[in-house]
Structure 1
Amino acid sequence: MKSIALFFQVHQPFRYRRYRFFDIGNDHYYYDDYANETILRKVAETSYLPANELLLKLAGELEGKFKVAFSVTGTALDQFQLYAPEVIESFQQLAKTGCVEFLSETYSHSLSALKDKTIFEQEVKQHEQKIFELFGQKPKVFRNTEMIYSDEIGDCVAKMGYKAMLTEGARHVLGWKSPNFLYVNAANPRLKVFMRNYKLSDDISFRFSNSNWSEYPLTAEKFIGWLTQLNRKEEVVNLFLNYESLGGRQPKESGIFNFFEHLARGIVKHPELKFATPAEVLAEVQPVSVISVPHPISWADEERDLTAWLGNEMQKEAFEKLYEMSPRMGRCTDEELRKDWNYLQVSDHFYYMSTKLFSSGEVHSYFNPFESPYEAFLNYMNVLSDFQIRLNSMFPKNEQEQEIAALHKIINEKDEKITKLEKQLTRLQKPRTRKKTTKKKK
């Protein structure tokens, strides 16, 4: 019997406001609260809440035979708690069914695995703690940001205690091999590797409502037919989708919710197919061979590489400048600074700076709140410059920065003193009102 492992990514970045050059050193608040709340509420109402309601219904009516896994980023969880706590509650209801498994990843959906192992491990532990706190699960399977994976990253993840990792079934990595098997990491065979079947996943995520697609309209019966036509020896089909595909990228009017419900019911009824969580797959399926990935891959664009985030000089400059600060951030305990540090690492900031064109460019522009990648770069670098000033004031990098930090402290103290004196002067300058006296009658 073939196992269908269904995975969903749930991610929302904290979007920055238009942060100008003249804000640097003067205003330390970077976030576009209106955009963050508006977008989050809209996605929650059109996608997350109705999709969770459907999954809860399927988990109950299909008597535990429907299974699903979620990779929910820390930044998404933070926004749910701020703007839509009912989404957290709906995920908690799903967790109680026993049909849902939560994966671990970097808290801020960052690229830290490519640059700083210490920061990477800290983020993973922070995310793991949040998942346990909210859903009572300790993840056993890891999914890195945007499915970024290599032999080295896999080895690091294995040493952190994870049993398996999910990545893209990239054609240039698999060659003649099929993604529909379980593999092991080349550097550390203790780590099992799930490979995403990108064709079947993208048929739902991207092509479902495309009337120009040769397979349009996609029905549950047709999709199940494709699953049964796969080689019988292939043991597991990993479907990994952005959760916003349900109701967001594929709107309710397209019939996506009806399709998904019929698909789930059809798979449960089929004698050759079944749903399985990643943990169940690990318990039931044996790896067939090693998968060698010497250079990092991802699930983005046609190239399935890192160029979506680090493909041009702007992205590389921003990335390097950010992680130059990581040694000092390792000593920082200030909560506000650490929160801003986490959100500075969100991979979306680098994605917005991409200059890729054609089909990949269309996908990039769909998620980009900026008019151009150059505007995204300038905005991010302004924020980063202000953050660096704040960090330098706490942990100067050298003697010159110590002097600047000391001068900055003196200026701030004088500004505070001037503001205090101005308030006192304003209070003293206010005209005094005389009290009226009334004569006593004789």
Structure 2
Amino acid sequence: MSPGIIGAIGIASLLLLLFIRIPVWAALALVGFAGNFILSGLPSALTLTGTSAFDVSSAYTLSVIPLFVLLGEVASNTRLSADLFNAARLLLSGVRGGLAIATIAASACFGAVCGSSIVTAATMTRIALPEMRKAGYDDRLATGSLAAGGSIGILIPPSIILVIYASIAEQSVPKLFAAALLPGLLLTALYMAVAVGIAFVYPDYAPRQKRASTRERLKALAGPWQFILLFIVTIGGIYAGIFSPTEAAAVGAFGSIVLGAIALRLTWRTLWQSIEASIRTSCMLFVIIIGANLFSSFMVQTQFPTMLADGASALNLSAPVVMTMIVLAYIVMGCFLEGIGMVLITVPVFLPLVVKFGYDPIWFSILVVIVVEVGLIHPPVGMNLFVIQAQAPDVRITSIYRGIVPFLIAPLVLIVILFLLPGLALWLPKLLYG
């Protein structure tokens, strides 16, 4: 049996294991180990398993993950997100759909600090949903804006998924962060446009709120000063070349602790809860990455990605057709896979094919994050949708499904724009890093 066929069987086995709800890390590790054992023998497979675990756990570039997770947990527990939402709410008061727009804006800003979609969705649901309900917002618009806004956190830097992509594709993390900034801002604007459109088509979904005074608006601007400071220090430091991503994450995590203590919002209890949650999340991510490394090594040995590229060339498929098929494959996988698992499973398979057809791997990273974002909010199993329901169990899941459907237009429009204008993702990295 040829290595290429063994690779195809391995991918089919992986999908089967995931379909029957085997955890992503276990499915990746089992298929990766079994494949390496078949192709190279038991001693080699055992050695590779040991070295993969050591390489991942000791990788300097991946140390950014627990630090940014800690930053997000501390920011959440010190109600930094509440300040952001309150400022956006007052600034947009009097605008129809203003609370939905404020939710998306605050989610994007909070995601820009913590880098986690799930943390952003959970945090903003606790803060914004009661306010929107009190104002008479329909649950469909309220939960739709929360799910959409929460998903922006994996695109606007810092993004944990982009860090993981960088480790797999051997790309520069600062370049990926720079590439994600403009698409992230554009996606935020597109989500806001959808929210405004819903509010105008269905006025009963978003009753108009009383307009805040100029004094109240100016006062609100001073509220999220901690966020502004953290953003300037962490993300600004990366773009200015002052910090590496890991150094920026460490400074940001320490800064969030100091600012929380100064504001008397961080107790020893909440600090310990933040550290504990960060350890659990980071361990889960690292175990998944170790499994993905085994699977990636298996794919390299089978040369299955090369076989796919040769097959596409033999069928005379054009580059746009191949990319359209890849995007559709991601959207389908998003129905039953979580985002990080999708990246770790697909990038070793798809990236060589994408590069062979002339696409930039940095541009492809942004495309991958956008389609993963679609998976996070795509019914029936979008992760953000269930996170929102977990925070608000009285909201029916069918209402959340119906609320998110119009917002799916925004990332699909951005995907089209990204194909037509690849410079949207590539201009800033070239400007900053050459």
TM norm. shorter chain > 0.5 = no
TM-score of the aligned structures, taking structure 1 as reference length: 0.25
Task: Flag the structure with higher helix content.
Answer: 2
Give the alignment's TM-score, normalised by structure 2: 0.25
**Larger of the two Rg values belongs to structure:** 1
